[in-house]
Amino acid sequence: MREIDTVNARILELLQSDGRMTNAKLAEHLNMSETPCWRRLRKLEETGIIEGYQAHLSRRKLGLGVMAFVQLSCSEHDQAATAEFQRIIEVTPNILACHNTTGEDDFLLIVVARDLDDYSAFVDSTLRRLPGVTSIRSNLSLKEMKASSKLPVRGQGR
């Protein structure tokens, strides 16, 4: 990873808190003029450190009351099955994240649904139909204690 200086770290922290912050407001927070601030921001975007911007939505207010952590085991690991698995995962909006993991299971998914009936239907219509899936284990979230996409940009993120 390339080194992030303190000004760039501060830019990243500010934008993680408010992705709609204007360049003028960003420069004001940094006590610098707008042009150098804009150049730094563009460089962070061009190098891929800033991948994009999006709104953070309330899943509950959108009627998605169930969050499940799903562990999948697969019997097929050939290129074709893996490509089809990945294609389905990428186009399924209820799957928020999918990680290929070490340990007993092959994949860990984060899935949202309206309610338990909706989640059950999702398991039957989508997860059970994924290529090579031999085992599905779900852990339902009872209480979300922390949810953040903010990354630590200074030090070790303690």
Read off the pLDDT of residues 1-51 as tens digits, 9 standing for 90 and up: 467 899 999 999 999 999 999 999 999 999 999 999 999 999 999 999 999
Alpha-carbon distance of 92 to 108, in angstroms, equals: 15
Question: What local confidence, expressed as pLDDT, does residue 12 receive?
Answer: 96
Question: What local confidence, expressed as pLDDT, does residue 2 receive?
Answer: 63
pLDDT per residue as tens digits for the range 95-125: 999 999 999 999 999 999 999 999 999 999 9
Question: What local confidence, expressed as pLDDT, does residue 1 receive?
Answer: 45
pLDDT per residue as tens digits for the range 142-152: 999 999 999 99
Structure tokens at 80: 């074709």
Alpha carbons within 13 angstroms on the beta-carbon side of residue 92 total 23
Nearest to 59 by CA among 111, 134, 122: 111
How confident is the model over 59-63, as a mean pLDDT? 96
Residue for token digits 């927070």? 29
